[in-house]
Structures are given as structure tokens and as C-alpha cells.
Amino acid sequence: MPELPEVETVRSGLAATVVGRTVVAVRVTGPRTVRRQPVRRFAARLTGRRVTAVGRHGKYLLVGTDRGTLVIHLRMTGRLALVDGPQAPRAPHTHAILTLDDGRELRFVDPRTFGELFFCLPGEPLLGQVTGRLGPDALVDELGPEVLGPLVVRRRTTLKGLLLDQRVIAGVGNIYADEICFAAGLRPDRRTESLRPDEVVRLSAALAAVMERAVAAGGSSLGDGSYRDLFDSPGAFQVEHAVYGRAGEPCRVCGTAVAGTRVAGRSAHYCPRCQS
């Protein structure tokens, strides 16, 4: 569930709190948490490393260190918790604990266990193999109509399918794809090859606007056990959702009931009147 705005909120939280800190111990107990490399190798590489920067590409967190990069993907239910020390109550489904040199712990919690951690040494191809498959980042990279237009028309898919394809644009998931379509006035099941130049302009503006507003609100948290930031606080963007999860409720613009359907194998929500 965490999409770009939630991962970006975690990234900025980490950047403000762990840069300059050294990882002094690594404990992995989740059998699936580290799966691209042996757990012992992961722990040996990460132990003793000093965090120098915290980056992100799409939904991947890239924790830069003095020698290599810790890569974290939260997938469905993963989250990071920064706590004061080992005495802090441990959440169920805590699968990895990184102890920092100031005594604090960075914990990886993941009930569904789809999330993962791995560590890449400088020059190791693994990092490029993962991030090299991603399209431009939906927040950081400029996706003006002149960039977006060729990407959109070439794909011959539904608009929602295109927005969800991380190889085209990295970071957008189910919630924000619906919100971007609404903000652009375009139905999620619109064929991309049918989009006119003025509609691509609207899509480009909607993409930037929705990402920026969602990041400013700290992302979205829906229901129990959903996304929380590093300090266990929920996001606030869910109250601004125009269509996602609002099937049958009145459109905030025109009052028409929001429609629910399925597009690209996922749920989709849209206003039949405001979107075409």
C-alpha cells in the first residue's frame, strides 16, 4: 500500500534523524525479509556503516552509507519504526532491527512479509538492476507534457494501467492513480492512445499537483494497521481523497455518485460526470 507520498514521508523522516549515525548491530529474524542475498552477508555488510544520505526512487528507499546502499521496499504492509532503544515495546511482525550508535533502533515491521531489505556495495550491479527498471520518479523528475506525451501514447493501455506501471512512471500506486485521474478529469479506463495533447497537459499537471499535495499531507493512512510514519503517526491525505474508496458517495465537485469499477486488475474509482 505505501506509495510515493508515504515512502517520501519516511525518507524525509530518516534524512532528518539517522544521517551521520552508524549502524552498530543488525538482527534479522523474518525469514523473507532479506531474500536477494544471504542474511549473514547482509548483516556483515551493513554493520559498521555510517549513514550519509537518504534517497528514494519511486517506492524504493535508498539509504546511502559510507560504503554501499541499503535498499528498502515496504511493498504492501512494511513500515519502519525509529524507537529510543531496545526497551521500547516491540510491535508484532518486527522482522529486522538495526541498532544505531546512539542506542536508538530502526525496526522493520511487516505483517504480510512482502517487503524487503538488501544491501548493495558500490559498483555492484544489483542496485542498477532494480532501479534501472524504473521509469522517472513521479515527484522528483520533471514530467512535463513534452516528456509525458510520448510515454503515454506509445503504451496503448488504460490510463490507470499506465500510471501503475513502475517502468513508465515510478511511485504511483492504486490510490494516487485514481486521484490523479480525477484531478486530470480523465477516466481511469481511458485508452492512453486516445488522449489529446490538451489532456496530456492536464494529466501532467494533475500528476505533479496530487503528488505534491499528498507529500505535504504526509501521505494517506486508511483503516487499521495501515501506513504509519517513522514515529507511528498516520498521514492526513485520506481526508482529501476525491474518489479513492468513495464509491457511491457524492463527488466533491458535482455531487454525482462516485463510480467503482475494475481497471488493469485493480479497483478504480471515478466521477462519471467530471471525468471523460
Active-site residues: which are they?
Answer: 2-3, 59, 266
* Torsion angle in degrees (nearest 10) through CA of 47, 49, 54, 57: -70
Cα separation of 25 and 250, whole Å?
52
Q: Using the rule CB under 5 A, is 271 a contact of Zn ion?
A: yes
Give the burial class of 245: count Cβ atoms within 10 A of its Cβ; 0-12 exposed, 13-18 middle, 19 or more buried: middle
| Residue whose cell numbers read 458535482 | 254
Taking CB under 5 A as the binding criterion, the range among 7-15, 22-30, 209-217, 255-263 that sits at the site for Zn ion is 255-263
Compare residues 72 and 183 and give the one whose CB is closer to Zn ion.
183
Q: In the complex, what is the shortest distance from the CB of residue 276 to Zn ion, in angstroms, rounded to a whole number?
A: 11
Instruction: Out of 133, 254, 262, 276, point to the residue binding Zn ion (CB under 5 A).
Output: 254
Q: Using the rule CB under 5 A, is 181 a contact of Zn ion?
A: no
Pairing assessment for the beta strands 266-270 and 259-263 based on DSSP bridges: antiparallel
Compare residues 96 and 274 and give the one whose CB is closer to Zn ion.
274
Pairing assessment for the beta strands 60-65 and 116-120 based on DSSP bridges: unpaired
**CA contacts within 13 A on the Cβ side of 66:** 9
Q: Using the rule CB under 5 A, is 106 a contact of Zn ion?
A: no
Compare residues 95 and 246 and give the one whose CB is closer to Zn ion.
246
Q: Using the rule CB under 5 A, is 243 a contact of Zn ion?
A: no
Q: Using the rule CB under 5 A, is 276 a contact of Zn ion?
A: no
Q: In the complex, what is the shortest distance from the CB of residue 190 to Zn ion, in angstroms, rounded to a whole number?
A: 16
Task: Decide if 236 contacts 218 (C-beta within 8 A).
Answer: yes
Instruction: Out of 18, 251, 263, 268, point to the residue binding Zn ion (CB under 5 A).
Output: 251
Taking CB under 5 A as the binding criterion, the range among 56-64, 133-141, 163-171, 244-252 that sits at the site for Zn ion is 244-252
Q: Using the rule CB under 5 A, is 214 a contact of Zn ion?
A: no
Taking CB under 5 A as the binding criterion, the range among 98-106, 112-120, 193-201, 245-253 that sits at the site for Zn ion is 245-253
Q: What 3-state DSSP class applies to 42? A: helix
Nearest to 178 by CA among 60, 76, 259, 78: 259
Q: In the complex, what is the shortest distance from the CB of residue 246 to Zn ion, in angstroms, rounded to a whole number?
A: 11
Q: Using the rule CB under 5 A, is 51 a contact of Zn ion?
A: no
Q: Using the rule CB under 5 A, is 273 a contact of Zn ion?
A: yes
Cα separation of 50 and 59, whole Å?
23
